[in-house]
A and B are shown apart, each in its own frame.
Chain A
Amino acid sequence: MKYVIAIIKPHKLDDVREALGAIGVLGMMASEVKGFGRQKGQTEIYRGAEYATNMVPKVKVEVALADSLADGAVEAIREAANTGSIGDGKIFVLDLESALRIRTGETGETAL
């Protein structure tokens, strides 16, 4: 099993959700996060004074997947979240050791 974490632009969340749904991913998590990468944050201006705000708002999408779906999901996220401009985000793929559905006690890929 794989655990995919994608940091994307907030306005791309719906596109990513649709793309993952289309390839058969059944569930996902999304949270609002702040961070920076090579873009090094952004500046805001108040009454003519510039404030460097280091953190840029992003959305973090997390999905647990069967091995067979992982590559397709990564590609789907990349396509859906890509705008071609700086700050589009990153995708990380981790090995997922185990999973368990609390209600039934099922484990492994059947629990996803």
Chain B
Amino acid sequence: MIHFLYFDPGLGAMIIQAIVAAVAGVILFSKNLMFKIKTFLGIAKQEDDVFDDIDVKDSDLESKSKSDITK
């Protein structure tokens, strides 16, 4: 750990994260549940978006030289 701080992380911000995380957890859980229900009922719609998913895909992590060979 680099111990000395070169910017102020905010003591309040460090303490509040437990609350923020709990709220986010509830929202994520309920969204996930709604999505499952919608998928079950067949009303989930496909998102049309130019932005990626949060997860880095395994295929992206491979060395570029590999894809050069296969092209």
Query: A and B: partners?
Result: no
